[in-house]
Structures are given as C-alpha cells and as structure tokens.
Chains A and B, each alone.
Chain A
Amino acid sequence: MIRAGHFLGFIIFCMGVSICLFTIHPRITSARYHQIRERNRQLVVALGLTDLCLFTEARYTRHISQADLHSAFQEHPLALEHFPSGAIVPPPPIFHHPNPGTPGE
C-alpha cells in the first residue's frame, strides 16, 4: 500500500525535477543557445532577413510577414487555402474589426 510519506516523497521528487527543468536547465544551456542566436542575429543583420524559415511549402508561408494579405487566395479565382501550415496563420486583425461603413454589411 502507498503511504502518505511515499506519495509526498514522490511529489517532492517530481517538483524537484520540475524546478531543475524549468529553472536550472535553461540557465545551464543558455550560453550555448546564446552563441547560436548571436550567429543567427548576425545573419539576419547581414542579409536583412525578415522571416523565420519554418514553413517552406508555399511562398506566402515561407515569408509570412512579406506576403500579400490575400495571397492564399490569389493562386486562382475562388482558390481556397490548401497548404496545411496556412492553418497556423490567423487572419489579419482587420477581419476582426471590419470597417462599419463597408458596403454589403
């Protein structure tokens, strides 16, 4: 039978692991990541990069910040977004607050 002492010991152990992971591990590895980030920052400065290389499947997902607002729908008339990573990109804020004077409303 598990006794209260055993359970509390288990919880304290898990909390110890959590504290090590959430606070100590990031500090231990920060020098390494700082070095990598510094190199990447230098590349961003030297090449004038504007986007992260995360979604390479379509031009408007590779350079999200440079894409036209409706680029997903410009491949051909009535085209629907079909690239999976397009689902990650939310619509621009303007669609949440449409202009009250927009015709057809």
Chain B
Amino acid sequence: MIWINRQRYYLDFILSSLGRRKWKNASLICVYMLVVFLISSMTFLAGALRREADLLLHESPELIVQRMIAGRHALMPVDYIADIETIRGIQKVIPRLWGYYFHPASGANYTLMAPEAFQHDDAKVVIGAGVMRTWDPGPTGTLVFKSSKGGTVELAIAETFESQSDLVAADLILMSAATFRQITGVAPGWSTDLAVTVRNPREIQTIANKIVDALPDARPILKSEIQRTYAAVFHWRSGYIIVMLSGALLAFVIFAWDKATGLSAGERTEIGILKGVGWDTTDILMIKFWEGLVISLTAFLGGTILAYGHVFFTSAFLFSHALKGWAVLYPEFHLQPFVNIYQLAVLFALTVVPYTFITIVPAWRAAVTDPDTVMTQG
C-alpha cells in the first residue's frame, strides 16, 4: 500500500510539473501521437489488406499458364491445351479470355473478361460498380466500345456488381467470348492464358515443371506465387510502406534523441531543487520514468485509436491518394477490422518502451551531479 501511495504521489507531482509547461507538453504529445498514428495506420492498413488478399485469392486458379514471347506475355494458342492435358495429374484446363480496354473519355483502364459461363447474350455486359461510376453510360444504359477492326460496338448493361465487390470487381466488364474477340481482335483459337486445375495440389510444382518441359515458351504461375506476391506487396518492407514507416520512425528517433541528449534549463533547475530539498536519485528517476510513461502512453493510446478509426471507419482516406496514384478508377472498399496482439505489441515496443526509458538517461545524469552545480548550469 505504501508503495502504491508513493507511486500515486510521484504521478501527482509529475502531472502538476507537466501542467506548468502545458503548451510545450501538449505539442510534444500531439507530435508523438501523430507519429504513432502514422505508423499504426500503415501497420493496420497493410495487415488488413494482406489478410483480405490471402482469404480472397485462396480461391484463385491453382495454376495459370502464360505464353512468353521476347520476354513479354503473349497470347496463348488453344492447341496448347491438348499438350497440357496429356500430363498426368491434370484435371481440367480452361482457356481464359481477358484483357484491358482504355476508354479515352473517362481516362480509365478497364479489365475486359469473357467468362466461360456468361449468362447473357452477345449484346450485353455485366460491369463492376467502378465502371458505372467512371464511364457514364447515359440514359440509354449502354457502353460504346471501339472495335479492333474499326467501328463501334454498343453493349447494354445487363447487371452491375454491387459496390461491396469493388475490391475484386470494380473495373471488370464481363461479356461473351464472341463480343470480346470482336472488341479486342483476339482471333478464335487463341486465349489470354490457361487456368489449370490439378487433382492433387501437392503435385502442383512437379506439374508446373512438366508444363515448362513440354512447352518451353510457357510461364506457369502458381497460386502460392500469387499469394506470396500480395504478402510481399503489403509486407512492412515493401516500397511505399517502408518509405512511410522509415519517415515516421526517423521523426520519432530525432524526437527521442532530442529528449535523450539533454534537459531544458527549467528541468535542470527543478531536479537541482528537488535534490537540494532532500529527494534522492531514485525519486528523481521514478518521476522521470512516470513522466515518460504519461506522455508515451497517452500518445500511444490516442495514436492507435485514431489510426483504427482512420483505417477502418474512413477507409484510410489520408493514404488513398498514394494508393490511387494516377488511376481514374479507384475501388471503394471497406476493410474488415483486423488488429492482432502482435501488431500492437510491436507498436508498443517501438514507441512507448524506448521513449519511456530514454527520458530517464538525462535525468539520471543531472540527478547524480551536485545540486548546486545542476542549478548553476540551469
């Protein structure tokens, strides 16, 4: 009980001491909170996107086979299917027809796709909510495409995906294979790539090797590679995230370094007076420990709460410009809130712990010096 009361008096003392320099300390907490907010927002956003990609792309085709010519992705002859189907362990090979369509009026790049089981006729399309937002089909509800042979192709919108599917389908325009070939100029007998289903997923690497042996110009892409790509994109070491994180961490290091390298004249005088009136070094270190904890804990809690709201209630609107880049079409997605203990522990260890302990160092230096000298220096 005595120990608890003692800590409470330390806390009372340090709160009144912080209150005497309230503007300086308030601005310190604001800057600190901003740094925690930035680091936490990046961590939460990257974690939630990585999880969403992992859960959704788990259903992607097990193996995609592309054809490479002169180091570039080229159209795949449908005849290759027969060669691939002879490989033992392969269940099904489906030619995929997909490509891009740039619409000059909207300035956006759309993904055209002709699914195998398209349920509408050749004059209809099914579009993503992003296409509806950017293309402006007008009162007729039709989209006019330029055909590869010249002329136009007018297609009526049969269905629109709801905006909740933006994360996978915002820019999709689904159409029949015949219409796709008419717009893009992909001749019959050719496809964009092949989706391969295998009987035993454990054999997938062996099958991929056999495909390359049989068709040297083929490039197999495994589902695990697709998932690894997204894990890498949203890993903390990836491009944009590391730029943001290193900037914020550097700001934090400068800020903590400034705190560690010296005390202000007022703080030195305060320590000198406390020593002069009989406080010992342990008491001084304890109040400095509490000071560091009060500031860093307030900033940590405020920063992480604001970051959670920013990422999961406002869809990380501060980062949307960076994610959007030059894209005209940007999906409107809401990520499922997901924060794990590991993320919070790392954030806590990176922000609260170093600051709390670093504030003790200069106080210890001042506390072990003669009170008279400390006050004279102050």
State the A residues within 8 Å of B (CB).
1-4, 7-8, 10-11, 14-15, 17-18, 21-22, 25-26, 29-30, 33, 36-37, 39-41, 43-59, 61-68, 70-71, 74, 83-85, 87-90, 93
Contact = CB atoms under 8 A, between A and B. Distances in A.
Nearest to B53: A52
B327 A55 contact: yes
B167 to A, nearest CB: 6
**Top 5 A-B residue pairs of the complex, sorted by shortest distance between their CB atoms:** A84-B325, A33-B336, A57-B327, A4-B11, A14-B301
A64 B66 CA distance: 14
Interface string B237-249: 1111101000000
Of listed A47, A89, A93, residue having the most chain B CB within 10 A = A47
B331 A54 contact: yes
A52 B11 contact: no
Of listed A46, A53, A59, A70, residue having the most chain B CB within 10 A = A53
Contacts of A26: 336-339
A74 B240 CA distance: 22
Interface residues of B, number: 88
Contact of A7 (B9, B226, B294, B312): B294
Interface string B6-26: 001101100110010000000
Given A48-B96, A65-B229, A87-B239, A4 B15 contact: yes
Contacts of A62: 100, 109, 111, 171
B126 to A, nearest CB: 10
Contacts, number: 203
Contacts of B1: none
A91 B337 CA distance: 29
B326 A59 contact: no
21 contacts: A2-B16, A3-B12, A3-B15, A7-B15, A11-B298, A21-B305, A25-B337, A41-B56, A43-B165, A48-B115, A50-B61, A50-B221, A52-B53, A52-B168, A55-B325, A56-B328, A62-B171, A64-B229, A84-B326, A90-B232, A90-B239
Contacts of B301: 11, 14-15, 17-18
B15 A51 contact: no
